[in-house]
Amino acid sequence: MIEKSDEVVEKVKEIVADIAECETAEIGLDAHFFKDLEIDSIKAIELTVAMERAFGVSVRDDQIKNITTVRQASDLTKQLLDKKSKS
């Protein structure tokens, strides 16, 4: 189970790199998925599926379109993991 904040960020980067077909080193925390990484609405769903699988969390439908950077994806994942640990 991934608990540390930087581990979450690194794992999210790996997932994004896999979807965007690039190296993790090329992905900045605030690189925009659509504008900078060519992650379209189809790949955004694949990204969500991969994130849910990797972290064991469930992203709400309306949150998917709001995930547009590694920072946002990591923050959301941390929130969901935190919520999960308290429930």
Partner 1 sequence: MGSEKRIVITGIGPLSSIGIGREELWKSVSQRKVNIGEGGYPLDDGDWERYLFHKIDKFDLSNFGIDDESIEAIRQWKDGEEIIDLNYLLAAIKLALDDSGINYRSENNQISLVLSHENLSLTPFALKMSHVAYDLLNGKPDGIPKRKLFDGIFHSCVRTGYDVQAFANLFHIARVFNVHDYSLFINNACASGLYALEAASDIIKSGKNPTAVVAASDYPDIYKFLWFKDLGLYSEDGVVRPFCRDSNGLVFGDGGIALVLEEFKHAQRRGAFIYAEYLGGGFSLEGWKITVPKIGSDSYQKAINEALTRSSVEPSEIDLVSPHGVGSQPIDYYESKAITDIFGKRFERPFVTTFKPYVGHNLGGSSLLEAAILILSLANDTIPATLNCENPDPKFNISLVRESVKTKLKTVLKTCCAFAGFNAAAIFRKVNV
Q: Which residue from 4, 6, 25, 41 is in contact with partner 1, where contact means CB under 8 A?
A: 41
List phi, psi (to 5°) of 23: -90, 150
Measured from the Cβ of residue 72, the count of other Cβ atoms closer than 10 Å reads: 17
Locus of tokens 């896999």: 18
- Asked if residue 64 binds partner 1 (CB under 8 A), the reply is yes
Cβ proximity to partner 1, 3 vs 40, nearer residue: 40
Handedness of CA 20, 24, 30, 36 (dihedral sign): negative
Q: 57 burial class (0-12, 13-18, 19+ CB within 10 angstroms)?
A: middle
- Asked if residue 32 binds partner 1 (CB under 8 A), the reply is no
Q: Which residue from 7, 38, 40, 82 is in contact with partner 1, where contact means CB under 8 A?
A: 40
- Asked if residue 65 binds partner 1 (CB under 8 A), the reply is yes
Site for partner 1 in 66-85 (CB under 8 A): none
* Binding footprint of partner 1 on the chain (CB under 8 A): 40-42, 44-46, 48-49, 61-62, 64-65
